[in-house]
Structure 1
Amino acid sequence: MATIGDRVEDADGFRGTVRYVGSIQSKGDQVYWGTSVPPRCGGDCQRLGIEWDDSSRGKHGGAANGVQYFVTRAPTAGTFVAPEKVSRGRGLLPALHERYMQAEASDVRVAGEVATAGGSSKSIQLVGVHKIQEKQHIGVICKVSLEGCQVATLPTPAELAAVAPNIQELDLGFNLLASWAEVLSLATALPKLEQLVLSGNRLQYDATADAGAFPLVTRLVLNQTATSWTDLLRICVHFPALRELHVAANDLADADLIEGVWPETLELVDVSHNSIGDWAAVQRALGGLPALRHLVATHNALGAIAPSAAGSFASLESLALGDNRIASWASMDALNSFPALTLLRFAKNPLVAGLGAGEARMMVVARCGRLLAFNGSEIRAKERTDAEQMYLKRIIHEVASFKDDADKHKVLASHPRYIDLLAKYPDIQKPATTTGGPAALARSLVAVTFVPMSSQAATMEPMAKKLPLNMTVGQLKTLVGKKYGLEPAALQLSFRATAKEMPVPLDDDSGDVGYYGLQDGAEILVNDVW
């Protein structure tokens, strides 16, 4: 019979934890059965109160007819089921023999996924069983995956060491394990273990239990384990050589991220798919790791990034921030305070959601001076030069549009790289006004070529023209509409410095063309809105 704390799995593959064992009385002396009422069975019917890992599998929070039999983390994660409706799993050794001593149909199988430093997923493939059998005995297998095999109990260290002492990579993800003490007891049986995957289990940590350590394990994957941050700190003590820690989808929030002592060897931490909203909490918990080079924080609720405190994230080279709520360019500017940061992933944030891909990339490259790659694509030297010059021209043009010094200082304060870029590109001057004579007027004009892309104007020839930098995009649309016989409201204009570059949308009718950094030789592409 199952006991409280046991892990179980139903016929549909849903896993849960037993929170109650006993009878559940309802009106008419009938036993409550989740969504239905079974036949009358008196008070002796035994039921298991299950808290499901996936709350959509449940129906309630552990109560029936006003009686609270157990409490669940989510309000609909609980049900009552008959013991025969769920499996309590099996031992590791039977699962190991079944998978690696019996022929399977496939030569190659996917063992699981972990996040990379860039925030994407990487599949782990293992050679199929019958190919292994042709060459080696189970005792010399180095990579073992028992993912989803309903493993609930582990053998003694002596039993495992006698069967498979050479395991270096072990995947026990999405099984029915319930005890960290049991896992840690295998340390002596697996002296060569380097990677351990326990995702999808619900492991309880007992700090008072005798436990071993895995001195060679460098990668620990604990995704979807509901492990608390406090327990993570305790668990990592048993992995002194740890370099990668994956704790995605663990319901972690800001308050959970307390400061603590981690293995100083940690190079990658994955906290993606959680509910972290305050960057200060991330910095407090992980900023002091001396060897941390990669941080994956995608799919969270981060609203802003603050400048790195002195000594914080000193070695951080790559940062994945996709699918957050960052909406301010100040957050992008703050990344310049991370002394080693060169790789950034930033897709699906409000800040870039309304921009074209080319415009967003140009702005990020220009504002983050150390980046070598953005969203997985290398930033080449010419791209950086073009982006920084265009950005600098926009700043200069924006400053020149204000007469009041206070307004100008406010603009410059929002562009921290302005002074550095001005020193880097001294030839870029402030736009001249028409009051300075012919030379000043010439400097206020930019020579461009209009390239018809519209279906209505595609047969027309390109047109070269000089434009004043203070012309608005709306005025430019009127000019183009007259030239090509098109309705200005139906035009969609974009420009590119060279034919090889991504076009940048001219999407603000009230903005001056000078703001966009137009330069001599640029092409303005004329398209239809519809």
Structure 2
Amino acid sequence: MNYSEYDRISTIDNKLATVRYIGTIPQWGDTLALGLEWDEATRGKNNGEVNGITYFTPTVPNSVTFIKSTNKKLVHKCKSFVQIIKEKYLDAEYIEADIQFGSKTVEEFGWEKLNKFQSNLSNLTSLTLDFHLINRADYDKSIFTNLGNLTHLELSFNLFNDITEVWKIVDLLPGLRELNLNGNRFYKFSPTNTHNLKVLKLSSTLVTVANLNEHILPKFPKLTELYISGNNYTNEDINNLNLPAQLEVLDVSYNQLTIFPKVNISSLNLSHNNISDYSNVSQLNITSLDLRNNQIMSYSFIDWLSEAAPNLQILRINHNPLFQDIDIMTTQLIARFYCQDYHAIPHTKLYKLNGSLLTNDEIENSELYFISKVQMGEYQIDKRAKKWLYLLDKYKPKPTTINIQPDWISLTINIPNKDPVQRLFLLNNSILRIKGIISKLYLDNMSILQFKLYYYIDTSIKQELKDYLSILDTYSLSPSQNIYIDYS
């Protein structure tokens, strides 16, 4: 196979790469070398250089390997879309005969087999051709005529590098509504006619926003869903994106965003970015939002989102640094957002959180618990926030259900070589939690296994607090009870 720069290439185990250099390198003599930029960057060994000589600079750093063109792990062939259709849907004898459509087809292949082949194609509404080494279209009128009912086409992880070859296929399939091009890499672009496609998937293609705006999105003015995850987009890239007017779903997960983008889309996937800032956005018309695996570290972000997105109905936000305790996370989120029972139709408020459907009981319990924690000073919220005022108004008729006066006990902590310290503890705190608090506040985060807690019953009986799962209330403790620390 003769290679050209920017050709796409595959290994026998379906690992894809782009040919970025063709020539010789000193240590291999006259052997033809290929400089490959791997789609899976971790397969790379360098940045396009060998022994101090730079042959090219890859798009993704350290994604390059130099390999001999005769390497047996490389698949030294490419195929066309039409060729693959014939291989998948025509009988083997027809393929081997290499018969073209026309009178000779009828004569040598037979009417019955030809009609069966055409029927198979005409019945197709969805076609998946991923990892088929396709790099071009080719033309066969009968093939495309018989694919007239096709609405979904997957061409992901093939060897396309010229978007024009894809358009040659798409333009001959006017009924097509969903196109998956994930995992291809495009380096050649050209203008083309518009198409009524609704769903376009371009994830892991590294297509630039400039090429999206100029060469791809104008072709699909009626697009309602766009998937562009894993393309290394920055905040500036997304701000410069010219989205179709009818777009409803946008997936920009697995990119490099740090700021919540100014994108008013009904369904938005921002997961697996580095978002922690929301300062650029004040109002959102989002109903479904995915913020998993970002860098959200404060409840001020949550409170902002609650007010900025009043129509939010579905939210995924777990796996952020803010949420280390899943139970606390769920309670705080339910209380800070406007929620409703998932049975309530129509849905106008948050009814699905981190994959779980909400119920009225769960919502009310979380809100009441949250109010009590805020009034005890354990949870923080701006007392002027609309949601806080809403909660106070909502539960005003039922103050007795809010546990804002929990049972406390004052204990005197006696630390060796230090003055005694008095501190309030909740009676329902576990001994494990008590030791953790004392370690953090008074013992410089000493391991709880390195010290003991005890008190005296009737001044003579020494009682150790050693059952980590028990709570203070199970012990006979009096107000201002002396608790002693022993780490000898």
Give the TM-score category using the shorter length.
0.7 to 0.9
The 5 Å alignment of 1:140-155 reads 140-155=123-138
The match for 2:418 is none
Deviation at 1:76, TM superposition (A): 2.6
Alignment of 1:73-472 (within 5 A): 73-85=59-71, 86=74, 87-101=76-90, 136-156=119-139, 158=141, 160-162=143-145, 164-206=147-189, 209-215=190-196, 217-234=197-214, 235-279=216-260, 282-283=261-262, 286-287=263-264, 292-306=265-279, 308-309=281-282, 312-314=283-285, 316-336=286-306, 337-353=308-324, 355=325, 357-369=326-338, 370-398=349-377, 412-413=382-383, 417-427=387-397, 444=405, 472=425
Unaligned runs of at least 5 residues, structure 2: 93-115, 339-348, 409-422, 435-453, 472-488
**1:415 CA drift (Å):** 5.8
Q: Deviations over 1:462-513 (max 9, x none)?
A: xxxxxxxx962378557x9999x9954543479xxxxxxxxxxxxxxxxxxx
| Per-residue deviation, 1:252 | 1.6
Listed one character per residue, the Cα deviations across residues 41-60 of structure 1 (whole Å, up to 9, x for unaligned) are: x54x3222221112222322
Residues 120-176 of structure 1, C-alpha deviations (whole Å, 9 max, x = no match) = xxxxxxxxxxxxx79942243221111011111112384752453332111000110
Q: More displaced, 412-421 or 50-59?
A: 412-421
Q: Distance in 1 between matches of 2:4 and 2:226?
A: 31
Q: 2:426 aligns with which of 473, 485, 489?
A: 473
The SS at the match of 1:422 is: helix
Partner Cα distance (1:423, 1:339) in 2: 18
Letter in 1 for 2:19: V
CA contact (8 A) 2:373 2:404 kept: no
Letter paired with 2:85: L
Larger mean Cα displacement after TM superposition, 17-26 or 422-431: 422-431
2:371 partner SS:
helix
Cα 1:491/1:181, change in 2 over 3 Å: same
Tell me how far apart the structure 1 counterparts of residues 252 and 201 of structure 2 sit (CA, whole Å): 11
Aligned pair partner of 1:48 in 25, 34, 40: 34
* Alpha-carbon spacing, 1:426–1:205, altered in 2? closer, same or farther (3 Å): farther
> Structure 1, residues 191-229: CA drift from partner, whole Å, max 9, x if none?
0001100111001252xx2312221x1111111111222
| Structure 1: unaligned runs, 5 residues or longer | 32-41, 104-132, 402-409, 433-441, 448-469, 495-530
Q: Is the 8 A contact 2:137 2:168 kept in 1?
A: no
Aligned 8 A contact 1:393 1:428 in 2: no
2:304 is aligned with what amino acid? A
Contact 2:209-2:241 at 8 Å conserved across structures: no
Change (3 A) 1:487 1:241: farther
The SS at the match of 1:144 is: strand
2:73 is equivalent to residue 72 of structure 1: no
Q: TM-score, normalised by structure 1?
A: 0.67
Count of equivalent residues: 394
State the one-letter code of the partner of 1:390: Y
Letter in 2 for 1:391: F
SS at match of 1:350: coil
C-alpha root-mean-square deviation of aligned residues, in Å?
3.5
SS in structure 1 opposite 2:187?
Answer: coil
The structure-2 alpha-carbon separation of the partners of 1:272 and 1:102, relative to structure 1 and needing over 3 Å to count, comes to farther
Aligned partners of 2:281, 2:330: CA distance in 1, in Å?
A: 23
User: TM (normalized to structure 2)?
Assistant: 0.72
Task: Tell me the alpha carbon deviations over residues 78-105 of structure 1, each in whole angstroms, 9 at most, x when there is no partner.
Answer: 22333333324211122222223369xx
State the Cα deviation string for residues 206-257 of structure 1 (Å, max 9, x = none): 2xx2312221x11111111112222223311111111111111111222322
Out of 182-191 and 160-169, give the one that drifted further: 160-169
**Structure 2 partner of 1:10:** 11
- Cα distance 1:21–1:477, how it changes in 2: closer, same or farther (>3 A)? closer
AA aligned to 1:371 is: L
| CA–CA separation in structure 2 for the residues paired with 1:443 and 1:17 | 64
Cα distance in 2 between the residues matched to 1:486 and 1:416: 49
Find the residue that maps to 2:376 and give its secondary structure: helix
Where 1:74 maps in the other structure, the secondary structure is coil
> Could you give the per-residue CA deviations for residues 258-307 of structure 1, whole angstroms, max 9, x where no partner exists?
2343111111111112221111xx12xx23xxxx2111111111124458
* Secondary structure at the counterpart of residue 18 of structure 1: strand
Residue type of the alignment partner of 1:341: L
Q: In percent, how many aligned pairs have the same letter?
A: 24
- Letter matched to residue 82 of structure 2: L
Letter in 1 for 2:60: A
- Tell me how far apart the structure 1 counterparts of residues 311 and 280 of structure 2 sit (CA, whole Å): 13
> 1:308: Cα distance to partner?
4.3
Q: Per the alignment, do residues 320 and 413 of structure 1 end up closer, same or farther by CA in structure 2, a change over 3 Å counting?
A: same
Q: Measured at CA, do residues 319 and 146 of structure 1 come closer, stay the same or move farther in structure 2, by a change above 3 Å? A: same
User: CA 1:273/1:141 → structure 2, altered by over 3 Å: closer, same or farther?
Assistant: same
CA contact (8 A) 1:6 1:88 kept: no
The one-letter code of the counterpart of 1:203 is: F
- Once the two structures are TM-superposed, the CA of residue 374 in structure 1 deviates from its matched residue by 0.7
Query: What does residue 448 of structure 2 align with?
Result: none
Q: In structure 2, what is the Cα distance between the partners aligned to 1:188 and 1:157?
A: 13
Alpha-carbon distance between aligned partners in 2 of 1:411 and 1:146, rounded to the nearest angstrom: 52
Tell me what 2:468 maps to. 491
Contact 2:290 2:315 in 1 (8 A): yes
